[in-house]
A and B are shown apart, each in its own frame.
Chain A
């Protein structure tokens, strides 16, 4: 063969080898690619076969689905006592909120949920109107409905009577809505060229990150009232909310700062050369990219925040988990299966909410990335 080569006919495109495709190919590649992997697969299958059937039977066929009190559950110790959840559902949702006013909680939750779906649904129309309703009209409506307004014939309900699912959802929502913008501002401040702003932001972030969340809640609850005049003392429910938002903001600030630092300097320079001033450069060029980069971290924080709302219990608020704990104290429903059922149910509830957030974030990342790459 000579050193020179000239192609005379084009090479044909061939289909990939069949071994790498189809169910068999997938199983071979993912479950049995090596001896170690095959052994792990078999071990996990065996573990599943050993654990799952009894668990499923406990939760379904052996469970007590309805009963007037705990007697039936006490006699069925090999199954969950879902009757307990059914019986206490009302209490888990509203706790001590006055019974005649439950509809006010229902309406608030429904409207809030509808607005959130509107804002998060990728193809929903009129997002501007949706945000206006959610960020301006909804808080006023929720306040009037939940707190009550005697002029409108809505009897007043003090926040110490609020409880259950309502408190969990409210704490998470308020925490998320306030901590993100605050976190973004702190992140921008930390990178500011103004020394005073920068120092203040660093001090705040480092101080908050150096303190346990429970301490922040105790401080918000017990110390905040000491710093302000009596008539301005913040509401009992407001105090942990403020604490949650301020705490979460410090962590979010660090996530966002990571995103800001990941952007190439050229993005700042191009925006500067186009005479986009600071806030426009941040708003249109830098933050959209930085926040997209930090979605995993931000959602991670939101998930943490949602779970941390259970800690408001330690300053006397009755959240969903707190309501569950109170429900356990009912002597009519004492029994060996009650705790497992109750905590199992609470676990499933928190899992569903957190998994939904994670799932939504993953979809959003994929959608945002799709437009930008080939």
Chain B
């Protein structure tokens, strides 16, 4: 596929990854990799481990066995490795998680100023550029509570981009939104995809997956059941569980 770089190490590489919550086996032997510039949508029923998987990439959850490499750099317990990877990976959450006591602009500049040590003026210029890109520069001096859900989620996207990541993780970015606001967030994500950002997206928006994804990963009870390009994945699912899942969510 065009734009994908196969010579460089994969953007994200999962090798034999396992994870338990207590006695519950949450991720079972996950093996797959995401190439640079690739857009991967992860779907599956609730409790299938898709959020856990995406949260392992930037160490919000710790995997207990196996190897995760981000841009060829192994994610280990040392804070050096974790920091290195977090600076390269941006994340957008289902519940936005903007900092309510800071303005939109301050939300976007906090980490660049204190983590990347950028001068304030430079961080603000970058933030304004990215807020313009998600089409809300006029909200820069408001507080998150004064914005609609869709606007808040676009701020969250801009905030993550302000750190200059090479990979973006989206954990159900539209699930907490009112229906009329889903479009504006998906549009911002589509635009990002067109610019060549490597993206791993957990979502139930199958229209988005069909349109944007290079590959779709279907997970169920902690394991990967099927991986395929969106065309065959939706038109000719191979595994019974995939068929059952798709028939349930595509019925309406």
Contacts and interface: CB of A to CB of B under 8 A. Distances in A.
Interface in A233-292: 264, 266-267, 269-277, 280, 284-285, 288-289, 292
A100 interface: no
B143 interface: yes
A372 interface: yes
Given A266-B93, A373-B145, A374-B145, A272 B100 contact: no
Interface stretch (B40-48, B67-75, B109-117, B202-210): B109-117
A273 B110 contact: no
B173 to A, nearest CB: 13
A179 B60 CA distance: 34
Nearest to B89: A273
A372 B83 contact: no
Given A270-B93, A372-B145, A284 B114 contact: yes
A368 B143 CA distance: 12
Nearest to A263: B100
Nearest to B116: A275
A68 interface: no
Given A275-B87, A275-B115, A276-B115, A269 B100 contact: no
Please classify the interface of chain A as helix (H, G, I), strand (E, B), loop, or mixed, using the class held by over half of its residues. helix
Q: How large is the interface on A (under 10, 10 to 19, 20 to 34, 35 or more residues)?
A: 20 to 34
A371 interface: yes
Nearest to B156: A270
A285 B99 contact: yes
A368 B101 CA distance: 8
A236 B42 CA distance: 68
A280 B115 CA distance: 9
Given A275-B163, A373-B145, A267 B97 contact: yes
Contacts of A272: 58-60, 86
A266 B159 CA distance: 15
Given A280-B114, A284-B114, A372-B143, A273 B91 contact: yes
Given A275-B87, A276-B110, A373-B145, A270 B99 contact: yes
Contacts, number: 71
Interface in A315-374: 368, 371-374
A276 B87 CA distance: 10
B105 interface: no
Interface string A4-24: 000000000000000000000
Interface string B48-77: 000000000011100000000000000000
B83 A275 contact: yes
Contacts of B114: 276, 280, 284
Most buried by A among B79, B83, B115: B115
Closest A-B pairs by Cβ, 5 of them: A270-B97, A266-B97, A274-B111, A275-B86, A273-B91
Interface of B: 58-60, 79, 83, 86-87, 89-91, 93, 95-101, 110-111, 114-115, 143-146, 156, 159-160, 163
Given A276-B111, A372-B143, 15 more contacts: A264-B95, A266-B96, A267-B99, A269-B60, A269-B93, A270-B91, A272-B86, A273-B89, A273-B91, A273-B160, A276-B115, A277-B79, A284-B114, A372-B145, A373-B146
30 contacts: A266-B95, A269-B97, A270-B91, A270-B99, A271-B99, A272-B58, A272-B60, A273-B58, A273-B60, A273-B86, A273-B89, A273-B93, A274-B86, A274-B111, A275-B87, A275-B111, A275-B163, A276-B110, A276-B111, A276-B115, A277-B79, A280-B114, A284-B114, A289-B100, A292-B101, A371-B143, A372-B143, A372-B144, A373-B145, A374-B146
